Amino acid sequence: MKRIGILTSGGDAPGMNACIRAAVRAARAQELEIFGIRRGYAGLIRGEIGLLDRKAVANIIHQGGTTLGTARSPEFMTGEGRTPAIENLEKRGIEGLILIGGDGTFRGGTALSQECGIGIIGVPGTIDNDIYGTDYSIGFDSAVNCALEAIDRIRDTALSHERLFFVEVMGRHTGFIALESGIAGGAEELLIPEIPFSVDELCSHLERSFKGEKKSAIVVVAESGQPGDSFRIAREVREKLGLDSRVCILGHLQRGGSPTARDRVLAGKLGVAAVRALVAGKSGYMVGEMNWRVAYTPLRDTWEKKKELNVELLEMRMLLCE
């Protein structure tokens, strides 16, 4: 293998640049040429491909987002869309491809690996942390710490005004960010899609809290595929209990900013592992981290199998959210 490519796809995540940097340095150390593909699969279809060297990735380890750019490409999910992408890879003699992204990225990679002889290795890069086959995905720790800082700041205001706050965090259809940031932030209640809840139960919990010693409370809400649903919940609670409340939706704030040390180290580890996997002849796998060690998971499993929340954290939630 002499030439490999690398792209970022789907939602950006802090640490993607650190992963690109690690892959480029690992590739150059093994005397491989590595090409950066701009704007994910959309750029691959258009042939937006350029050679990367050490200078191209200098001073990006601390930057959020992705210097390669990213985009969602419905076109790539069709056979007609993948045909020019494969032609562009073959034209440049690219024999291996590193894909940094989430389940949509890996769905595309699975299809691509079945249609061409190019080696495909995925790297989990998504703040949602919902990818099967890795304990943590690149960007998750940064997103949790961003949410935690917001919760800490909002608590100061909640205490000052003796008020109820709803803090909505990202996570698409999962509660990973809400669970960890809520526990770390001492939230009085966590609403996550994995655990059904009713507004009546929430009201009963809050009523007990405010009748006791508490004068303020924070409820962390996972967006659950419906950004802004916190406003509905807050309105129903206000109608039932008469509690004055405010809603804070963190949204894309959690995606940007400098990655944490944990995300930088993870990104470096997986970037190097991805290059080594291609050199070793592996294809159709995602490199992840399980129990602190590099693990290889078939790309199809990453989106066909469901990643479960940590059971111990769920039990802690019941004890600590009071």
The yes-or-no verdict on residue 115 having pLDDT over 80 is: yes
The yes-or-no verdict on residue 96 having pLDDT over 90 is: yes
List of residues 6+ apart from 72 with CB closer than 8 A: 9, 10, 40, 42, 104
**In the structure encoding, which two tokens stand for residue 88, read together?**
């562009």
| Percent of the chain's residues with pLDDT above 70 | 99
Q: Any idea what the Cα angle at residue 156 is, between residues 150 and 162, rounded to 5°?
A: 125
Helices (H), the chain: 16-29, 40-46, 79-91, 103-115, 140-161, 176-184, 199-211, 229-241, 261-279, 299-304, 311-320
Helices (H), 92-139: 103-115
pLDDT digits (tens, 9 = 90+) for 12-25: 999 999 999 999 99
**In the structure encoding, which two tokens stand for residue 200, read together?**
């009546």
* Tokens 């944490």 -> residue: 260
Could you tell me if 210 and 204 are in contact, meaning their C-beta atoms sit under 8 angstroms apart? Answer: no
Query: Which active-site residues does the annotation give?
Result: 128
Sign of CA dihedral 314, 318, 319, 322: positive
| Percent of the chain's residues with pLDDT above 90 | 85
Q: Return mean pLDDT, the chain.
A: 94
Q: Which amino acid is at 69?
A: G
Q: Which CATH architecture has domain 141-255?
A: 3-Layer(aba) Sandwich (3.40)
pLDDT grade, residue 209 (50/70/90)? confident
Question: In a 3-state reduction of DSSP, which class is residue 259?
Answer: coil
- In DSSP terms, 37 is beta-bridged to 7, 49
Question: In a 3-state reduction of DSSP, which class is residue 294?
Answer: strand
Say what the pLDDT of residue 317 is. 84
Domain ranges in the chain?
Answer: 3-139+259-304, 141-255
- Which of 121, 40, 117, 44 is CA-nearest to residue 82? 44
Residues shown for the chain = 322
Say what the pLDDT of residue 28 is. 96
List of residues 6+ apart from 230 with CB closer than 8 A: 166, 167, 168, 221, 247, 249
pLDDT digits (tens, 9 = 90+) for 67-76: 999 988 889 9
What is the Cα–Cα distance from 44 to 31, expressed in whole angstroms? Answer: 23
Say what the pLDDT of residue 122 is. 98
Say what the pLDDT of residue 322 is. 63
Could you tell me if 125 and 138 are in contact, meaning their C-beta atoms sit under 8 angstroms apart? Answer: yes
* Tokens 């595929």 -> residue: 225
Could you tell me if 199 and 233 are in contact, meaning their C-beta atoms sit under 8 angstroms apart? Answer: yes
Instruction: Give the mean pLDDT of 120-131.
Output: 97
Instruction: Give the mean pLDDT of 145-170.
Output: 96
**In the structure encoding, which two tokens stand for residue 163, read together?**
């008020």
The yes-or-no verdict on residue 226 having pLDDT over 80 is: no
User: Domain 3-139+259-304 belongs to what topology?
Assistant: Rossmann fold (3.40.50)
What is the Cα–Cα distance from 313 to 301, expressed in whole angstroms? Answer: 24
Q: Any idea what the Cα angle at residue 296 is, between residues 33 and 276, rounded to 5°?
A: 25
Between helices 176-184 and 311-320, what is the axis angle to 10°? 40
pLDDT digits (tens, 9 = 90+) for 35-66: 999 999 999 999 999 999 999 999 999 999 99
Instruction: Give the mean pLDDT of 272-296.
Output: 97
What is the Cα–Cα distance from 126 to 136, expressed in whole angstroms? Answer: 9
- In DSSP terms, 125 is beta-bridged to 138
Instruction: Give the mean pLDDT of 151-172.
Output: 94
**In the structure encoding, which two tokens stand for residue 231, read together?**
């406003």
What is the Cα–Cα distance from 288 to 125, expressed in whole angstroms? Answer: 10
